[in-house]
Amino acid sequence: MNALRIIGAFLRLNVQVALAYRSEAVVQILLNLMWLGWELTSLAIIFANTNELGGWGPAELVALLGVWRLVNTMMSIIVWPNTEKFNQGLRDGSLDYTFLQPANSQFLVSVTRIELWRLWDFVIAVVLIVAGLGMSGRVATPANIATFLALTVSGAAVLYSLWIVMIAVTFWFTRFDNNVTILAALMDAGRFPAQVYPFWLRLLITFVIPIAVATTVPLQGLRGELAWWETAGFLALGVLAVWVSSRLWKAGVRRYSGASS
Amino acid sequence: MQPQPAHRSALTARPALPVSGVNGKPPIVVEELSKTYKVADREAGLGAAVKSFFKRKFKEVHAVQRVSFQIDQGEIVGFLGPNGAGKTTTLKMLSGLLYPTSGRASVLGYTPWERRAGYLRSMTLVMGQRNRLAWDVPAADSFLLNKAIYRLSDADYKRSFQELDDLLELGPIIRKPVRNLSLGERMKCELAASLLHRPSVLFLDEPTIGLDVGAQARIRAFLKEYNRRNSATVILTSHYMADVVALCERVIIIHHGMLRYDGGLNELSRRIAPYKIISVHLGGCDDCVLDAYGTVLPGEDETGKKRLQVPADQVPAITARLLAEQPVQDLTIEEPPIEDVIERAFNERAFNE
């Protein structure tokens, strides 16, 4: 398939960039481990004072941290670096070339930059999920695991779509440096289960900036807490989000073609 | 000479060329193409800024106004005009990047702004001031990316690459990271990347900008050869007249978004600057006064040549008088410098008088 060939070519480019900046990769991996230490320490502090948080025990929060990191890894492999590339392209006009290539422009702006060394974060995330579940003493059935994977993919699709919406909206405004700030700021909210937040914030992170859909929800699926119709609803939300965002992207590109000089 | 409205003379001034392209239509047909932007309009100062925050006033900018022309297959046409004349906007509409406000265009049978894959695969837009190559890696890797995006087969890619390598003498520069290349080397790579898919229509927006004279000449020679081999249709903008003289028999002049002239370069100078330059070298007469023959142009070269600007129709008479009345050692008659012609052409009144 041609999309795979294009991704392959972008990967080649990005491997070279990663190799050219090896020391940066090492520093980032160390920094990331430091963050992990901090995140686990803060969980330890919380559970030194209480036994549960919004109905969730420490082991479950470790697993949630893993899911959150899984989503965060996706954000740091493609979303943040491509945002930077996109904004730079808008500023210096090189985005023009993207629109004149015979390939889907949304696809192109999504895969131009790939921060490969971040793949290492996936390993940490999976270890956290497995360890968390192990500590909680739960046994995940294959059906639970399948639900979890499907919900994770759909949650990631929701966040990705939200990102596409945010950068597409940039086409209507002239300032574009802050287009994803709110997404980045609210990402952090996903580290804790949605249930611990006050009602209004829970609404915000479930429906407006649906971080919870990509963190709390998949984990609930893994623990077998979701009814089938809830699972189906969240999966449908993923499909809907992808559809809406691609429509908005196309409208944004049309706007760009109509208004820019 | 009686100047006519530019667009009409443009259509009549050119001899009918054999038309080819799509179904006998010329590859590029533009009809009444217009583009109007809305820009926020406010006066300077804080008060005006606050006022415009609550009530925006917009001003319409007519970047391109009812421009029409046709270009035949294999032609290289120079697109000229001062900065802000609407050249780049027109090229962006023709390449499909911008929607026009009104008017039609057909390039290779496609409507450009629909951006059909078939269209995008058969044309290219090169902007001299913009980058398409990835900055941190060698150009060769960006080429491979284009191979994937344009779906070139291995054989096609190889053939195309070898030809470009041959013509542009790319050699080792494609294996150096792009950020380490000189501007001239980078432009060669940019051109190669833009042409790997062998487009038959090329829109070149200042492809030689910022290059030294040698590099400019190499790019020009390359474009000419590419055009000859592929009988590609080319629209080129440039501020370097050497580019235009070397490549374009036909020029289109745009000013304030309107088409002012469409026709041959030589004809343009006859129309706009109906004068010639007579250079004379006088023997033993350093302070001779030549004002009686024509306008003496300032500056003379180290050999003591004097330059006279005279109306084209009086050249034979004045030459005869000079030879008869002055101790002329050497005399040459030259066309007015093309920069001068273009500068006059950019001056609005040139076509309106």
CATH code of B74's domain:
3.40.50.300
Q: Residue B60: in which H helix or E strand, if any?
A: strand B58-71
Sign of CA dihedral B95, B96, B100, B106: positive
Pairwise CA distance, residues B263 & B86, whole Å: 18
- Do B245 and B335 meet the contact criterion of CB atoms below 8 Å apart? no
DSSP letter at B125 equals: E
* pLDDT beyond 90 at A193: no
Write out pLDDT tens, residues A84-135: 899 888 888 889 999 999 999 999 999 999 988 888 888 999 999 999 988 8
Could you tell me the mean pLDDT of each successive run of 10 residues in chain B, 353 residues long?
Answer: 41 41 80 88 76 77 93 94 89 94 95 94 92 89 94 95 92 92 92 95 93 90 93 92 90 91 86 84 74 79 78 89 86 83 72 52
Nearest-Cα distance to chain B for A113, in Å, is: 10
pLDDT in the model for residue A211: 86
Nearest-Cα distance to chain A for B192, in Å, is: 15
The three-point CA angle B105-A86-A188 to 5° equals 145
Please report the DSSP string for B37-57 in residue order: EEEE---SSHHHHHHHHHS--
Q: Verify whether the Cβ–Cβ distance B148 to A9 is below 8 Å.
A: yes
Nearest to B69 by CA among B77, B80, B59, B58: B77
- Whether B215 and B252 map to the same domain: the answer is yes
Q: Residue A250: in which H helix or E strand, if any?
A: helix A228-259
pLDDT in the model for residue B11: 36
Flag whether B344 is in a domain: no
Residue B115 Cα distances to A228, B96, B315, angstroms: 43, 6, 53
- For B11, what's the count of Cα atoms within 13 Å in the CB-facing half-sphere? 10
Q: Verify whether the Cβ–Cβ distance A12 to B98 is below 8 Å.
A: no
CATH code of B331's domain:
3.30.70
- Do B145 and A9 meet the contact criterion of CB atoms below 8 Å apart? yes
- The SS3 call for residue A63 is helix
DSSP letter at A190 equals: G
Number of structural domains found in chain B: 2
> Does B142 contact chain A (CB < 8 Å)?
yes
User: Which of A6-10, A19-23, B50-54 has the highest mean predicted lDDT (pLDDT)?
Assistant: A6-10
Burial of A196 (0-12, 13-18, 19+ CB in 10 A): middle
| Contact residues, chain B, for A260 at CB < 8 Å | 98
Flag whether B213 is in a domain: yes
Q: Verify whether the Cβ–Cβ distance B148 to A257 is below 8 Å.
A: no
- Whether B281 and B171 map to the same domain: the answer is no
Flag whether B241 is in a domain: yes
Nearest-Cα distance to chain A for B98, in Å, is: 4
* Domain interval for residue B293: 274-335
- Whether B93 and B185 map to the same domain: the answer is yes
| Contact residues, chain A, for B99 at CB < 8 Å | 254, 257-258
- Whether B161 and B253 map to the same domain: the answer is yes
Helix locations, chain B, DSSP H = 6-13, 46-54, 87-95, 117-120, 139-149, 154-168, 183-195, 213-230, 241-247, 265-272, 315-325, 338-346, 349-352
Flag whether B217 is in a domain: yes
pLDDT in the model for residue B155: 96
Question: The tokens 């994803």 sit on which residue?
Answer: A180
Q: Verify whether the Cβ–Cβ distance B125 to A96 is below 8 Å.
A: yes
Pairwise CA distance, residues B236 & B80, whole Å: 8
* pLDDT beyond 60 at A65: yes
- Whether B104 and B198 map to the same domain: the answer is yes
pLDDT in the model for residue B1: 40
Write out pLDDT tens, residues A200-242: 888 888 877 788 888 899 999 998 889 999 999 999 999 999 9
Pairwise CA distance, residues A255 & A250, whole Å: 9
Average pLDDT along chain A: 88
Flag whether B341 is in a domain: no
Flag whether B54 is in a domain: yes
